[in-house]
Amino acid sequence: MTSPLQQKVKVNGPVVVTANRVGDGAVVYRRADGAWTTDLAEARVATDATTAGALIAAAVADDLRAVGPYIAPVQVARDGALEPGNLREIIRRLGPSIALPQSAGN
Amino acid sequence: MYRYDDFDKILVDERVAEFRDQVARRLSGELTEDEFKQLRLMNGVYLQLHAYMLRIAIPYGTLSSAQLRMLAQVARRYDRGYGHFTTRQNIQFNWIKLSELPDAMADLASVGMHGMQTSGNCVRNITTDQWAGVAPDEIEDPRIWAELIRQHVTLHPEFSFMPRKFKIAVGASRHDRAALRVHDLALRLHHNPHGEVGFEVMVGGGLGRTPFIAKTIKPFLLKRDVLSYVEAILRVYNSFGRRDNIYKARIKILVHELGVEAFSKEVEAEWRAIKDGALAVDDAAIADIAGRFSYPRYERLDDTPRALEAARDADRRFDAWMDNSVANHKEPGYAIVTLSLKPEGGPPGDATAAQMDAIADLADRYSFGEIRVGHEQNLVLPHVAQRDLPALFRALDSIGVATPNVGLVSDIIACPGLDYCSLANARAIPVAQEITRRFGNLDLARGLGRLHINISGCINACGHHHVGHIGILGVEKNGEEFYQITLGGKADEDAKLGGLIGPAVPYEEVADVVEDVVAAYLELRARPDELFIDTVQRTGLEPFKERVYATR
Amino acid sequence: MPLVKGGQIVEDSFVRVADDDAIPPGVPVIVSAKRLLADPAAIVAHDAPVGVIWPNDRRVAELEPWLPGLAMVGLVFPTFRDGRAYTQARLLRERFGFRGELRATGQVLRDQFVFLARAGFDAFEVKKPEDARVFASVMGRYSVFYQPTADGRVPALRRRLREAPAARAREAV
């Protein structure tokens, strides 16, 4: 398996770096200041391979706080709002596309 | 039911303590993820799309009511109030926090449950038939052997870092209800011409990218030799299985590349060197394990009591449920009851904490405290007195697990898919849900007879789509979800892989395609009682291809 | 990389000798498999103990004829995930009766100590100094094992049968 650091980073549009938080597995996005946030709106967007490469390299090194970082596409709306760039990222952000079983007694 | 003794308990407790230490070292940074990953996988802790997932072993699918109650408690305390039963007789919780896992595992350990070896490159949960110990057609209880082997392969120092995972299934009847032939190793108890009971040994089955049906490498193995033979197979695999490519690392590839003869020779040579050593299974060993299996003290009851017939006449729904969900038991006056976890519109194989608690209570009341998990993702109450069936039905119906669709078109086997799983290309659950809505009419479903639909969200085939009568495989095309349809697969003693009927269809059309396939079946079947799978085998795929792709 | 033997960090009494270097007389040495097999009689005739590093993708049966002349065999874990050396270790100990030092080399982490010891290793080139330091306490953590191996520990089944009446009475849920 090639490490993300060795893979040639290719960028075809705006991307963010996303991962799962170590303690609870929550979906997080990398911010410009190196912190991780659960809010996609705060994510650092990269539009070229160099910036994306640096972002992912820093994320990979940040093993203590986040697991399995990778580069994910985003869409930027006209008002600048960030939306997930594919179905997998939509599901990661919003949760399963189906209703979860309801239990009375929860 | 196998009862843990002190030794079993201590082993699990020591491992919980070990994992607690490993989690602490991960959270402090002393262990990198790369070092930690293999360790957490060996305790069944995956990372999925939204959270960690904990997979808990249910050895050979057998649960006590106390264990089921604890699963409900874990669901409530550490998760989001429900769990998912899998195609390998395990349960999965999808929302557990890593930081809380040691506590969840300690709770589970208190009832003899754990996630050891439900992941990682080791021997996984050993599965069997959910009717083991009570099926009329069984030679003897395969679970004794599953337990003997389970202990042998648990934290085995030589086989904890194999090329890839290793799945074992054990059966004891001619009719295969445990999908033996798609396992890495399957052991089937049967008689030889002299009337001795021994194992047929089959190796190299598996689904995924390169599906194979297992090959018989030893038609008859004496019981005394089962551990040494399994050891020899694992040793050959550990030594020679490929490690250069994870997609070629299963034993099925080794068997295929060496050829059955050469593979078998390696195993026999290794086995001859060890068969009379410490692994020879003596009567004391068998008696020890068997002695910790408890069986119900059945009452002497009559079959088909009059009251039961009257209840069937009085209630059409009960009658339909009896026909569908209740099977013959080897003990007169008793029955095997299947609880459908496939309600119309529901996610297949899920149960809420409330349902689990209620089922545990019903098990205590009606099934000697025992529940089974089937690889079809339904539950079973294996020891129900026939006279209790009307009351049990009402109770099961009130908690939503009495849909009389067991084995029918809406009893779909599906993996979690892209809604949960980081390996998936496409969703499986909503596809299943829509199909169950299209076939929600139970008269229609009954009229179609036995019809197995299997859905996998990616080529890893956790939904076993290759061996579905109708197999559905999710793929990704240009960022959209598409599905390949196969027909004619079988998972039983006549195991075969399904055939592709044409190009993949988009998400919105899958349920339509299934309706077209079913419509074609209704036109083509020779008689109302010719099963779907038999029609497909008789006519071949062409008429189905034509029907489905006429307008696509 | 600290060497752990007998539960403690020790000095390595062996010196690794590269394939094209001369073997110093009177010094315990470790050579590669390639060098050993090129002239095994000469190598084992060395006037001090000799060890070999055996690759994990060759059958240890090839090494068997020379075992009586070897004081040490080193087996390799290129990554801790590659478990072929566990099989090699068990064969060396249990099939071929090797009694010399059996050393684990490569990526050896504390989480493999118990497996390694049970497979027959008695020396460990440990990747991390912290892991080397906790070796003894890690080993002391586990008391129950299911499988018989050559490490002398009595497997659970045999312990049960010995303690039969008392243990059965104490059954846990």
All residues at 6 or more sequence positions from B477 whose CB lies less than 8 Å from its CB, including other chains: B504
- pLDDT of residue A1 exceeding 60: no
Cα separation, A99 vs C53, in Å, equals 58
Give dist(CA B270, CA B228) in Å, integer.
Answer: 9
pTM, two decimals, is 0.93
Confidence of residue C5 (pLDDT cuts 50, 70, 90): very high
To test the contact with chain B by mutation, choose from C59, C62, C79, C81 the residue with the greatest count of B C-beta atoms within 10 A, namely C81
Q: What is the DSSP string of C104-140?
A: EEES--GGGHHHHHHHT--EEE-S-HHHHHTHHHHHT
Interface A:C, ≥3 CB–CB pairs < 8 Å: no
Residue B105 one-letter amino acid: M
Residue A33 in domain: yes
Radius of gyration of chain B (CA): 23
Name beta bridge partners: C51: C30, C72
CB B186 within 8 A of CB B169: yes
Nearest to B325 by CA among B131, B455, B496: B131
Q: Return contacts of C135-141, CB within 8 angstroms, 24+ apart.
A: C135/C4, C135/C7, C135/C8, C135/C9, C135/C110, C136/C7, C136/C8, C138/C110, C138/C113, C138/C114, C139/C7, C139/C113, C139/C114, C141/B14, C141/B17, C141/B18, C141/C114
Percent of chain C with pLDDT over 70: 92
Helix (H, G, I), strand (E, B) or coil at C111: helix
CA distance A56 to A46: 10
CB-based contact, B11 to chain C, within 8 Å: yes
* 3-class DSSP assignment, residue B42: coil
Q: Which of residues 37-96 of C touch B (CB under 8 A)?
A: 59, 80-84, 86-87, 90, 95
Asked if B220 and B286 touch (Cβ cutoff 8 Å), the reply is no
Domain count along chain A: 1
- The first and second tokens of residue B192, run together, are 């030889």
Query: From CA B519, how far away is CA B529, in angstroms rounded?
Result: 15
Q: What is the mean pLDDT of chain C?
A: 89
Q: Who among B10, B111, B288 is closest to C157 (CB)?
A: B288
Answer whether B47 sits within 8 Å of A25, measured CB to CB: yes
* Bridge pairing between strands B82-85 and B62-64: unpaired
Chain B interface, best mutation among A24, A64, A65, A103, by max B CB count within 10 A:
A103
Structure tokens at B352: 């809420």
Residue A76 lies in a domain: yes
Q: Do A105 and B76 touch (CB under 8 A)?
A: yes
Which chains form contacts with chain C, at 3 or more CB pairs under 8 Å? Answer: B
**Amino acid in position B275:** K
**DSSP, res B96:** E
What is the distance between the alpha carbons of residues B418 and C115, in angstroms, rounded to a whole number? 36
Report the alpha-carbon distance of residue B246 to residue B395 in Å, rounded: 47
Give the span between the Cα atoms of C106 and C127, in whole angstroms.
8
Residue carrying structure tokens 């299996």: B293
**Chain B residues within 8 A of C145 when measuring between CB atoms:** 11, 155
Residue B218 has pLDDT above 70, yes or no: yes
Averaged pLDDT of chain A: 89
In the complex, which subunits touch B with 3 or more CB pairs below 8 angstroms? Answer: A, C
Measured between alpha carbons, how far is B454 from B462 in angstroms, rounded to an integer?
Answer: 9
Flag whether A38 is in a domain.
yes
Residue A34: inside a domain, yes or no? Answer: yes
Q: How far apart are CA B154 and CA B160, in angstroms?
A: 9
Q: What is the ipTM of this complex?
A: 0.92
Q: Which residues of C touch B22 (CB under 8 A)?
A: 111
User: For C21-49, what is each residue's pLDDT tens digit?
Assistant: 999 999 999 999 999 999 999 999 999 99
Element (H, E) at B84: strand B82-85
Q: Indicate the average pLDDT of chain B.
A: 96
Report the C-alpha gap between B237 and B7 in whole angstroms. Answer: 29
State pLDDT tens for residues C111-135. Answer: 899 999 999 999 999 988 888 888 9
Q: Produce one character per residue of B437-476: b if its CB has 16 or more CB atoms within 10 Å, e if not.
A: ebbeebeebeebbebbbbbbbbbebbbbbbbbbbbbbbbb
Taking contacts as CB-CB distances below 8 angstroms, the residues of chain B near C109 are 35
Q: How far is B243 from chain C (nearest CA, A)?
A: 8
What integer pLDDT is reported at residue A104 of this predicted model?
43
R_g of chain C, CA atoms, integer Å: 18
Task: Give the count of alpha carbons within 13 A of B51, CB side only.
Answer: 21
Smallest CA–CA distance, residue C74 to chain B, in Å, is: 17
- Name the phi and psi angles at A72, rounded to 5: -125, 145
**Rounded Cα–Cα distance for residues B50 and A25 (Å):** 6
Residue of chain B nearest C78, judged by CA positions: B243
What's the confidence (pLDDT) of residue A33?
A: 95
Instruction: Count Cβ atoms below 10 Å from residue B297 Cβ, excluding itself.
Output: 6
Total residues found in chain C within this entry = 173
Question: Do the Cβ atoms of C141 and B161 come within 8 Å?
Answer: no
B5, B14, B30 member nearest C167 (Cβ): B5
Q: Say which of B34, B354, B481 has its CB closest to residue A105.
A: B354
pLDDT of residue C163: 64
Question: Would you say C66 and C33 are in contact if contact means Cβ atoms under 8 Å apart?
Answer: no
The answer, for A98 touching chain B at a CB cutoff of 8 Å, is: yes
How far apart are alpha carbons B22 and C111 in whole angstroms?
Answer: 9
Q: Determine the distance in angstroms separating the CA of A97 from the nearest CA of chain B, rounded to an integer.
A: 6
Q: What is the mean predicted confidence (pLDDT) over B172-196?
A: 96
Average pLDDT over residues B353-380: 97
pLDDT at C173: 30
Bridge pairing between strands B82-85 and C8-10: unpaired
- Residue A105 domain flag: no
C118 touches C104 (CB < 8 A) = no
Picking from B215, B218, B241, the residue whose alpha carbon sits closest to that of residue B229 is B218
- B24 vs B20, B78, C65, CA distance in Å? 6, 18, 47
Q: Where in the sequence is the domain holding A84, given as residue range(s)? A: 15-94
Q: What pLDDT, in 10s, does the model give residues C142-170? A: 877 788 777 777 777 777 767 654 444 44
Where residue C100 falls among pLDDT bands split at 50, 70, 90? very high
| Rounded to 5°, angle at Cα A94 from B74 and B38 | 50
Distance to chain A for B355, nearest Cα, Å: 8
Q: Which amino acid is at B337?
A: V
pLDDT single digits (tens) B452-478: 999 999 999 999 999 999 999 999 999
Residues of B in contact with A103 (CB under 8 A): 75-76, 81-82, 352-355
**Ordered structural domains, chain B, with CATH:** 6-109 (3.90.480.20), 143-291 (3.30.413.10), 306-398 (3.90.480.20), 413-549 (3.30.413.10)
Tokens in use for B345? 């519109």
* Distance, CA of C142 to CA of C119 (rounded, Å): 15
- In a domain, residue A3? The reply is no
Element containing residue C103 per DSSP (H, E): strand C101-106
**Confidence category of residue A102, pLDDT binned at 50, 70, 90:** confident
Cross-chain Cβ contact B158/C86 below 8 Å: yes
Query: What pLDDT score does B35 carry?
Result: 87
> Is the model's pLDDT at B238 over the cut of 80?
yes
Q: Give the domains, in start order, of chain C with CATH numbers.
A: 3-142 (3.20.20.70), 143-173 (no CATH)
How far A63 CA lies from chain B's nearest CA (Å)?
6
pLDDT per residue as tens digits for the range B135-170: 999 999 999 999 999 999 999 999 999 999 999 999
| Bigger pLDDT: C165 vs A57 | A57
Q: Kindly report the nearest CA distance between residue C71 and chain B, in angstroms.
A: 23
Is residue B310 within 8 A of residue B168, CB to CB? The reply is no
Q: Which residue in the block uniquely carries the two structure tokens 């306490």?
A: C137
Q: Is residue A9 part of a domain?
A: no
pLDDT at A39 over 50: yes
